[in-house]
Amino acid sequence: MRKAALLAHVACSVGWIGAVAAFLVLAVAGVSASGDVVVRSSYVAMDLLTGYAIVPLALASLITGLVQAVGTEWGLLRHYWVVVKLLVTVVAVAVLLLQVDSIGFLAEAMARPQPPDEVLGGARISLVVHAGAGLVVLLVPMVLSIYKPRGLTRFGRGVERPKTGWVRGR
């Protein structure tokens, strides 16, 4: 059960990173491409990618991460690296959810027959910046998961690790 939960968490987290990387490619194409069809279709594709891949994978990564933390020796609040990972993930999901409407608005604007308004230029650049920064931010939990820096929180120093069940001792 523990390995299945770990597999689900890793798959969702890596999928989230990959989907954001694909989104970044589309955002750059939407800003830099010369062809009107490529520019317009990039934003429609970004909207689909956000709704059907990025948001579900982000939420699944958060949920499976919580399950992993609670069900393993690491605990949710026991180690600083787990707490930082949780905070980064929660902030990343919150920022993502705040951007969903903007992405949908741009997709609708670009799907209209009239040429895109120049006012949308700032919003288009914002998507590139958010996607690039989001990709960098998502690498932080991955690095923490691999290196697992030492350091117990105050809560972690006061809690004895269980030796049986799903939670494995060292």
Burial class (CB in 10 A: 0-12, 13-18, 19+), 126: middle
* C-beta of residue 24 within 8 angstroms of C-beta of residue 135: yes
Q: State the DSSP code for 51.
A: I
- The pLDDT assigned to 76 comes to 84
CA-to-CA dists, residue 134 to 138, 139, 155, angstroms:
6, 9, 30
| 112 conformational bin, left if phi > 0, alpha if psi -120 to 50, beta if neither | beta
Q: What tokens were used for 119? A: 């006012």
Q: Is the dihedral of CA 128, 51, 22, 35 positive or negative?
A: negative
- The pLDDT assigned to 157 comes to 76
| Cα 72 from Cα 161, distance rounded (Å) | 10
Which residues, in sequence order, are CB contacts of 12 under 8 Å at separation 6+?
A: 57, 60, 61, 64
3-state secondary structure of 75: coil
| Cα 136 from Cα 159, distance rounded (Å) | 33
Averages of pLDDT over runs of 10 residues in the chain (170 residues) are 91 98 97 90 97 98 93 84 94 97 92 70 91 97 90 73 51
- The pLDDT assigned to 137 comes to 97
C-alpha 57: how far from its chain's center?
7
- The pLDDT assigned to 115 comes to 59
* C-beta of residue 29 within 8 angstroms of C-beta of residue 39: yes
- The pLDDT assigned to 86 comes to 95
